[in-house]
Structure 1
Amino acid sequence: MALGIIEPRTERKLPGTELLLDTEQTEQSQEQGGLQHGKGKKTEIILIPQPSNDPNDPLLWPTWKRETAFSVLFLNCIVFAACPGPMIAPATVALAAQLEVPIKHVAQLSGYQLLIVGALGPLVSVLAEKYGKRPQFLIASLFGVIGTGICIAGFDQSSLHASYRVLLAGRMIQGIGTTAYESLSVAAIGDMFFLHERGLRTALLVLTLASMSSFIAVVAGTMFEHLGARNLFVVLLPIQVAALVGVVGGIPEMQFRRGKMDDSRGLDVDEKNGKDGIGGEEVVPDSHESVGGTVTNSNAGATDPAVDQRRTFLQDLRVTSGTYSHDSVLKLLGSIFIHFLNPAVLWVQIVSAVLVSFFVGTAYTLAQIFTPKPYSLTVSQNGFFFTGALVGGILGVISGPLCDFIARRLARRNGGVFEAEFRIPICFVAVVVFAVGWFVFGWALDQGKVGGIGASNTVLLCSACYGMICFATSVASTGAGLYVLDAFPAHSTEIFILQMMIKNFLFYAFSSFINEFAAEKGPAHMARVFGIATLAGFTTCIPMYVFGKLNRATIVRVIKSRSE
C-alpha cells in the first residue's frame, strides 16, 4: 500500500503510475535507464510522457510555439467561453424590465446558451478525435463571432417580443462558439506539455472557465448602466474577431499520431492519438535535445528512426491535418458515454461539474437578491458584487503549483514514483473553504434580512463568501482536471466532454427553477442546501484516493479484454 493507496495485483504498468523523481532507489533501478529528464533546476524530474523522435510532436515544439498556442487558447477561453454567459448577469432584473419579460426568461438567455454547449459537447469531442482539435477551435470562433453579431441585431427589432427571440437565437449560436473551448482546452494541455508543466496551466484555464466570468460581470454591470445592453455586444464583437485571427495563426494542430512500438519499459503502444491501448502515454526514448528547451539528452546512443520533416508555418495554417481515427463518427460518439461506467468519471462529475453548477446557479439569483430593499443595489453595484469572486478566482491559480508541489512531495515519499491519486489531497483545502463560504453566506443573508449586521456589511460579507466559493471551486476543478490528465490520458478528452456536458445541463436546469426556489425558500436556505450537498459530495474523495489505483487497474483490464 503506497501512502494509503491500495495496490492492485497486476504486473502491467498502469497509466497514472509513473517514475517522476530520481531518488537513491530509482538511480539504482535499471527501469529508468535511458529516460529523458527536465533541464536546469528540473533535472531530477523524469519527463512524462516521453517525447518521440518526430519534430512535429507537440512535446518537441519550440518553447515559443507551445507558449504561443497556450496563450491564444487561454485568451480565447476568456473571449468565447467566459464572456458571453455572465455579460447580462448583473442586469438580470433591469434587462427583464427593458424587454418586458419575467426575470426567469432573462436567466434562460444564459440557460439555453449553456444547454447548447452541453448538447454539442460530445459531437465536438468526436470531431476532434477524428479530425483534430484545430478545426474545432476555428469553427467555434467563427460561430462565436456570428452569434455576437446576431445579439447586436436583436436590439434593433421593431418589437420587444422580436428582440427577445433574436437575442435568444444569438445567445444560442454563441453557445456553439463556446463548446470547443470548454470541451477541448484542458485536454490540449496534455497534448503540448509534460506532467510537471501542467499544474499552473490547468489552473489558468480553470480560472478562465470557472472564475474569469466574475471579472466580466464586474465590467458588464458598469457598461450596461452607462452604455446599455446593446453596446455590451458591440464592444465584444471586434475582440472576438481579433481572437478568431489569433486562432488562425496561433493554434496549430496539437493532435499527434505515433507509430506502434514497445518502449524501454515494455508498454504496449497503439496508434490512437499517440496513446497506449490501456489509457497511458507512449514513452519513446529520444536521441536529441528538444528545441523547446525542456528535454535533456539522456540516451544519445539510441537508434534514431526516420522522422518526418518539421511542418512549416504555412502548413500549420491548414484547417485540418488529416484523419486521426478510422472509426465512424457514430461509433466514436457512442464510446464517449461508456466512460460513465468508470467510477472515477462519476467522482469527477461530483467534485467538479456539480460544484461549479452550484456556483453559477447562485449567480442567476444575485441580482434578484440584492436589487430590492434593503440592499437596493444598482446594476453596476450588482456587477461590483462579483469582485469577491474575481479575487477568489485569481487566488485559485495557486492551486496548480500547489497541486504539483503536493504531488512531488508525495512522490518523493513514495520512492520517486508518482501516483495519479496524489492529485486528490488538495481537495481537503477546497472542502474547508467551501464550508466556510457557503454557511457564512447563508448566515449573512439571514442577518441582512433582519438588519442584524446592516445592509452594506451584508453585501460585503456575501461578496467575500462568494469569493471563497469561487476559490474552492477553482481548487477542486484543478485537482480533478489534473487527475483525469494523469490517470486517463488516452481518454481525457472524452471525460472532459462528459464533465462539460453534465455541468452545462445543470446550468440550464438551474436557470429554469433557481429564481423561484430562492424567492420561495429564501436565498439563505439555498446557500445552506448547496453547502450541505458540497460537503456530502467531497466525502467521495476518500474512497477515490484509497481505491483509485485499483479502479485504474480494473479499467485497464476491461479495455484490454475488449481489444482482444
Structure 2
Amino acid sequence: MRFRTLDELGQGDQLVRLIDTAGGDVHNLHLRGTDVVLIPQPSQDINDPLRWPSWKKHFAFLNVCLFAFMITGYVGGFSPALFVLGIEFEKPMNESINLILWPLLVSGLGNFFWVPAAEYVGKRPVFVVASLMTFLGMVGSAISKDFQTLLACRIIVAAGGSSTEALGAAIINDIFYLHERGSKMGLYIIFLYGGNSVMPLISGFVIDRAGWRWFCWLCAIISCLNFLAIFFFVEETRFERSTTPIAQQTTEIPSAKSLAHGSQEEHLEKVNISATESSPPTVPEGSELTGVKKSYLQTLNLWSGVSEQSFFSHFMRPYLMFVYPAVIWATITYSLVLAWQISAGTVTSFIFQVPPYSWSPSLNGLINIPAIIGNLVGAYVGGPLTDKWARRWARQHGGIFSAESRLVLLIVPALLVPTGLLMFGFGAERSLHWIVMFIGYALMNTCNCAASIGMTYVMDSYFGVAAEGLLLVNGLKNTIAWGFTYGFVPWTESAGYARVFGIMAALFFAWMVAAIPLHYFGKRWRDWTARKLRVIFW
C-alpha cells in the first residue's frame, strides 16, 4: 500500500471507444441491436449485477431513490413545525433550529463511515442496517415526550440516512452501464432534492391537521416499507470485476474525458437510443456463462466477505483528494448551495407564522411549491442542458470533450440565485407581499444546478477515483453547511434579513465568478495534478 499519482494508477487522460462506428469490433459486447459498446464489459459470471434483468435493476434503483427521498424529506420536513415545536417545548428560535442543524451535521459526518464500510463489507449490509436505523429513529421521534428525545431520534435517522448520498451513486455504477448512468443519476438527484421540497409541503398540512407526531408516523410507515423491500428484494451489488472483460480488450482504457456525460450523450444521439432501452447482453460465440445462479435465500445473505484491503485503507482514501482543484471547487459550491437552501428554509416559519402574515403551518408549507419549481429548473439546467451544451462545445472543437465546458452554464445560477436571495431577504425585512418572497424562493432554489455541475465536474475530471472524490464532497459540504446554518438565526436576529441575504447573494455570485479561471486553466491543472501529486492511497 503506497501513495501514487493518477497517472501511475492508470487514470490519466486516455480514450475509450463507446460507439463502434465502423462496426468492426467483434471482441466486445454491444447493446443488443446497436453499435453501443457496453462499458464496463460484463463478466461471464451469471451472478454479475450487470447481467441482472432490467426489472431487477430498476427495482433496486427505485428503493435507493425512495430511501434518499425519505431521508431528506424527514430532515427538511420539520421546517414548518419549528415555530410550533418551539411553543410546545418552550424553546427559543435558536434552540428549535437544532432539530435540523444537528441531523445535518451527522448526515455529513456519517458518510465517512458508511462509504468505506460498504467498500469493505459490501453495500447490502450497509443499506439494510441504515434503512432499519432510519425506521426505528422515525418511530422514536413519533413517540418522543420531550425535546431532547426528539432531537436524539432525529440524529439517529440522520446517522442511518447519511449513507444515501454517496452510496446511491455507487450502486448506480454497480448495476448500470455507462450509457445509462447519466439519466439514472439525474433521476436520483431529483428524488434527493425532491424530498427536501415535497415533504415540507406535505408536512405543513399534516402538522396543521394532525400534529407533528403524525408526520413522523407517516415517514416511519413509508420507511418501514422501504426497509422490507431492501431486505427481501435488493441483493448485494458489489462485484469483483476483472480488468480484462469477456473478450480481450482492444479499446482504450476509460477516462474522465471520454466517459463524461456530454461525450456519451453525443454518441447515444447518433444511434438514436435512450438509456431505458437497455437489454441483457448476449455472450459472444465460443463463450459461456459460468457459476451457479444464486437461489432466492442466498440473495438474502448479508455477508459476502470483506475486501482484500483493510477498512483503514478504505477509510483513509478520500481525505487527500481535497488537493484536486475540481474537488475543492465542487465542495465549496455544494456547501454554499446546501447552506443557502437550509438556512432559508429554517426561517420561513419564523417569517410567515408571525404577524403581519400569521399563517398556519399548512399555509407556511406552500412556500415549497416555488422551491419545487426552482429545483426542477435547476435540475434541467444542471443535467440535460449541460449535456447539450457539452455536445455543442465538442462539435466546435473537433469532437474533443472537455470537462470544463460544463462550467459555462454556471452563468444561469450566477444570475438567478443572487436575485432570488435579494428578493427574499428584502421581502422578509420589509414585510412585502408574500408573492415577492415566493418568486425569490423559486429563483434561489435553482442553485442546485451549480451543485449538480460541480459533482459532474468531479466525475468527469477524476473518473477512476470519482467515488472517493464524491465522498469527500458529500461529507464536507454537510459539515460546512452546518457551521454556517448554526450561526444563521442569531445572525439574522442581529443584522436583519435584508443584510444577511444580501451578503449571501454577494458570496454566491463571487464564487460563481471564481469558476472563470477554472474554465480556462482547469485542464492544465488536472494534467499537472495527475502527473505530480502522489495522494492516491491504493
TM-score interval (norm. to shorter): 0.7 to 0.9
SS at match of 2:408: coil
2:27–2:249 Cα contact (<8 Å) kept: no
Give every structure 1 segment of 4 or more consecutive aligned residues whose post-TM-superposition deviation is greater than 6 Å.
Answer: 275-281, 295-299, 559-564
Letter in 1 for 2:319: F
Instruction: Pick from 12, 15, 18 the counterpart of residue 14 of structure 1.
Output: 12
| C-alpha distance in 2 between matches for 1:537 and 1:467 | 20
1:140 and 2:130 are equivalent in the alignment: yes
SS at match of 2:317: helix
1:346 and 2:328 are equivalent in the alignment: yes
| C-alpha distance in 1 between matches for 2:12 and 2:61 | 28
Q: How does 1:254-333 map to 2 (within 5 A)?
A: 254-261=237-244, 263-265=249-251, 267=253, 294=278, 300=284, 304=287, 307-323=290-306, 325-333=307-315
- Is there any run of 5+ residues in structure 2 with no aligned partner, and where? 1-5, 261-275
| C-alpha distance in 2 between matches for 1:467 and 1:485 | 28
- Is there any run of 5+ residues in structure 1 with no aligned partner, and where? 1-7, 156-162, 268-274, 282-291, 450-454
1:478 and 2:452 are equivalent in the alignment: yes
What displacement does 1:293 show?
Answer: 5.9
Letter in 1 for 2:138: T
Q: How does 1:39-58 map to 2 (within 5 A)?
A: 43=34, 46-58=37-49
1:388 and 2:370 are equivalent in the alignment: yes
| C-alpha distance in 2 between matches for 1:124 and 1:114 | 16
**2:361 paired residue number:** 379
Letter in 2 for 1:314: L
Give CA-to-partner distance per residue, 1:374-414, whole Å, 9 cap, x none: 22222222111121102222344434333333333444444
| C-alpha distance in 1 between matches for 2:113 and 2:450 | 26
| C-alpha distance in 1 between matches for 2:535 and 2:315 | 21
| C-alpha distance in 2 between matches for 1:195 and 1:426 | 23
Structure 1 residues 192 and 480: CA distance shift in structure 2, 3 A:
farther
Structure 1 residues 417 and 445: CA distance shift in structure 2, 3 A:
same
Q: How does 1:164-179 map to 2 (within 5 A)?
A: 164-179=147-162
| C-alpha distance in 2 between matches for 1:57 and 1:277 | 24
1:526 and 2:500 are equivalent in the alignment: yes
| C-alpha distance in 2 between matches for 1:16 and 1:461 | 50
Structure 1 residues 211 and 463: CA distance shift in structure 2, 3 A:
farther
Structure 1 residues 239 and 134: CA distance shift in structure 2, 3 A:
same
| C-alpha distance in 2 between matches for 1:188 and 1:77 | 13
| C-alpha distance in 2 between matches for 1:387 and 1:278 | 38
Give CA-to-partner distance per residue, 1:267-294, whole Å, 9 cap, x none: 4xxxxxxx9999999xxxxxxxxxx963
| C-alpha distance in 1 between matches for 2:44 and 2:115 | 27
Instruction: Pick from 537, 540, 544 the counterpart of residue 518 of structure 2.
Output: 544
1:219 and 2:202 are equivalent in the alignment: yes
**1:407 paired residue number:** 390
1:98 and 2:72 are equivalent in the alignment: no
1:388–1:464 Cα contact (<8 Å) kept: yes
**1:288 paired residue number:** none
Structure 1 residues 482 and 318: CA distance shift in structure 2, 3 A:
farther
1:118–1:500 Cα contact (<8 Å) kept: yes
Letter in 2 for 1:407: A
SS at match of 2:163: helix
SS at match of 2:162: helix
Give CA-to-partner distance per residue, 1:284-326, whole Å, 9 cap, x none: xxxxxxxx9636989956x748744444443332213222x32
**2:140 paired residue number:** 150
**1:64 paired residue number:** 55
What displacement does 1:198 show?
Answer: 2.6
- Aligned residue pairs: how many? 513
SS at match of 1:259: coil
Q: How does 1:232-247 map to 2 (within 5 A)?
A: 232-247=215-230
| C-alpha distance in 2 between matches for 1:306 and 1:45 | 21
Structure 1 residues 197 and 141: CA distance shift in structure 2, 3 A:
same
SS at match of 1:84: helix
Letter in 1 for 2:509: L
